[in-house]
């Protein structure tokens, strides 16, 4: 009787909201038991009491059948011989058959590979049986359970779905899952800083000063300008500053100002409203808004067009931005780090970079030294990069012979640490399983063949 009460408690009596298939199956089992029991007047005293109290709410055979009639899930009930005693309208509409073609017919004739046949034959519950009932073009999936009373099999009840619906829903679910995956990948790509100060190798005094300045900057919200040749670690130190700051749990958004065409850069930085220009079909958030609360890294700032320099200056002064085509200003709580491999002071003198913007950006300055000026760091850098590269390529750790080290030390590394990384990767691959890298393995450096661009 507990089961009966549980089953009834799942029914929303006021609204007849649809139940899920398994609750429905349980409920229907009980209902069908009551239907047959009331007909036989064969209930225990306890069950009669319970039905009496339930009848205060609603219970009567007609009302129960009405309930089965309106639920939007297909239900079918057979007796112990497999003769169909009840079918609800949802079943008829999903399966596409007429009531008279099925009612009082044997399921062994009209649905011989269906779930009810299996239950009548075995006396056991079955789930998710797929079949095409006779006279129906629709593939169905049904679950069925036996109805026992006093140990005797009275019949069975099945709930059925049109499998097309299940397939469509599964497809939609998979599409949504894929979209979610792509989006979360995009978010983690744009919004996280990977490097920390532990990834910055350098013990020469110049480099130590830069790392020290980076650490000082990370304890403040001050704007930082990082200067240095290509591949000297500007992005690494910008990441490290963010990761050591109290904004580290907030986004780190990076934008390469030279890589975005001028006509798109303003909208990339500040976003745009729907219809702001031809092709602006949707509102779009800019990098500044995405970085709000965290850090924005403006890479290659020296390549920014003078017109945009004005807008950037305004954003920095007011600590607010305007989306392209937007009316109201959006307040910013943001740390700005910019970087360039160009000489901004020279550009200011030449008039190609705004002086007022330069001073706004250059509150704290970090000038990374080129690798040729810190060759004493080479052994440590080689060790660090070699370990990283061998781990990535699944190769054993390799060492440089003294003639190979001489070549490395004499080379002047125009591509700086990025070039060193590329050289090491190339040489680890080309020397296969050799444990030593010899001078002859580095012929491509001594012949001055450029290796800077491999990964840039």
Ligand X SMILES: Nc1ncnc2c1ncn2[C@@H]1O[C@H](COP(=O)(O)OP(=O)(O)OP(=O)(O)O)[C@@H](O)[C@H]1O
17 by Cβ neighbours in 10 Å (0-12 / 13-18 / 19+) ranks as exposed
Q: What is the CA radius of gyration of the chain?
A: 37
Of 418, 377, 386, which Cα lies nearest the Cα of 208? 377
Residue nearest to ligand X as judged by C-beta position: 233
**Closest to ligand X by CB, 244 or 401:** 244
State the nearest-atom distance from the C-beta of 208 to ligand X, in Å.
Answer: 11
**Closest to ligand X by CB, 259 or 307:** 259
State the nearest-atom distance from the C-beta of 227 to ligand X, in Å.
Answer: 9
Of 409, 387, 397, 410, which Cα lies nearest the Cα of 437? 397
End-to-end CA distance of the chain: 73
Edge to edge, what strands does the sheet with 335-340 contain? Answer: 252-256, 295-299, 335-340, 224-227, 364-367
**Closest to ligand X by CB, 90 or 255:** 255
State the nearest-atom distance from the C-beta of 380 to ligand X, in Å.
Answer: 9
Strand, helix or coil for residue 18: coil
255 by Cβ neighbours in 10 Å (0-12 / 13-18 / 19+) ranks as buried
State the nearest-atom distance from the C-beta of 320 to ligand X, in Å.
Answer: 29
**Closest to ligand X by CB, 196 or 230:** 230
Cβ–Cβ < 8 Å for 330, 194? no
State the nearest-atom distance from the C-beta of 341 to ligand X, in Å.
Answer: 5
**Which residue ranges make up the site for ligand X (CB under 6 A)?**
199-202, 228, 230-236, 341, 384, 417-418, 421
Q: What is the DSSP letter of 104?
A: T
**Closest to ligand X by CB, 85 or 230:** 230
**Closest to ligand X by CB, 392 or 435:** 392
List, as one string, the DSSP characters of 44-64: -HHHHHHHHHHHHHT--HHHH
**Closest to ligand X by CB, 79 or 303:** 303
**Closest to ligand X by CB, 239 or 250:** 239
State the nearest-atom distance from the C-beta of 332 to ligand X, in Å.
Answer: 24
State the nearest-atom distance from the C-beta of 414 to ligand X, in Å.
Answer: 12
State the nearest-atom distance from the C-beta of 296 to ligand X, in Å.
Answer: 15
Packing angle between helix 21-40 and helix 61-70, nearest 10 degrees?
150
**Closest to ligand X by CB, 33 or 418:** 418
Query: Rounded to an integer, what distance in angstroms lies between the CA atom of residue 348 and that of residue 304?
Result: 13
Cβ–Cβ < 8 Å for 295, 245? yes
State the nearest-atom distance from the C-beta of 303 to ligand X, in Å.
Answer: 11
Across the chain, which distance is largest between two alpha carbons, in Å?
104
- Long-range contacts of range 313-321, CB-CB < 8 Å, 24 or more positions apart? 313/354, 313/356, 313/357, 313/360, 315/270, 315/288, 316/223, 316/357, 316/360, 316/361, 317/360, 321/269, 321/270, 321/271, 321/286, 321/288, 321/289
């Amino acid at each position: 009787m507990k089961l009966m009460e549980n089953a009834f408690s799942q029914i929303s009596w006021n609204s007849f909201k649809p139940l899920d298939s398994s609750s429905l199956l349980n409920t229907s089992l009980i209902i069908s038991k009551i239907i047959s029991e009331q007909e036989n007047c064969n209930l225990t005293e306890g069950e009669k009491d319970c039905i009496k109290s339930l009848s205060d709410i609603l219970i009567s055979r007609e009302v129960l059948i009405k309930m089965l009639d309106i639920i939007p899930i297909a239900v079918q009930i057979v007796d112990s011989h497999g003769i169909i005693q009840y079918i609800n309208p949802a079943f008829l509409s999903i399966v596409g058959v007429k009531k008279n073609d099925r009612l009082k017919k044997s399921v062994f004739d009209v649905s011989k590979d269906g779930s009810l046949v299996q239950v009548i034959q075995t006396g056991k519950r079955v789930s998710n049986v797929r079949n095409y009932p006779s006279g129906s073009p629709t593939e169905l999936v049904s679950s069925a359970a036996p109805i026992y009373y006093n140990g005797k099999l009275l019949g069975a009840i099945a709930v059925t779905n049109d499998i097309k619906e299940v397939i469509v829903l599964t497809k939609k679910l998979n599409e949504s899952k894929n979209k979610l995956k792509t989006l979360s990948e995009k978010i983690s790509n744009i919004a996280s800083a990977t490097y920390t100060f532990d990834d910055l190798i350098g013990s020469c005094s110049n480099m130590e000063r830069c790392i020290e300045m980076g650490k000082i900057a990370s304890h403040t919200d001050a704007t930082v300008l990082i200067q240095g040749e290509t591949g000297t670690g500007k992005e690494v130190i910008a990441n490290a500053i963010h990761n050591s700051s109290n904004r580290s749990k907030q986004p780190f958004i990076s934008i390469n100002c030279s890589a975005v065409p001028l006509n798109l850069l303003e909208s990339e930085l500040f976003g745009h409203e729907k219809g702001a220009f031809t092709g602006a079909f949707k509102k779009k958030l800019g990098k500044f808004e995405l970085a709000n609360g965290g850090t924005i890294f403006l890479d290659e700032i020296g390549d920014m067009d003078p017109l945009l320099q004005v807008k950037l200056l305004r954003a920095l002064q007011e600590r607010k931005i305007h989306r392209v085509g937007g009316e109201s200003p959006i307040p910013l709580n943001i740390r700005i780090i910019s970087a360039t491999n160009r000489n901004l002071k020279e550009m200011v003198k030449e008039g190609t970079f705004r002086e007022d913007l330069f001073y706004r950006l250059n509150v704290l300055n970090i000038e990374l030294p080129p690798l040729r000026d810190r060759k004493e760091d080479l052994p440590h850098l080689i060790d660090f990069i070699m370990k990283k590269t061998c781990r990535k390529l699944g190769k054993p750790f390799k060492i440089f012979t003294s003639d190979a080290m001489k070549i490395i030390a004499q080379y002047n590394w125009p591509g700086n640490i990025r070039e060193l990384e590329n050289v090491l990767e190339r040489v680890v691959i080309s020397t296969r399983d050799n444990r030593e890298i010899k001078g002859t393995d580095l012929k491509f450096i001594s012949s001055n063949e450029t290796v800077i661009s491999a990964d840039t």
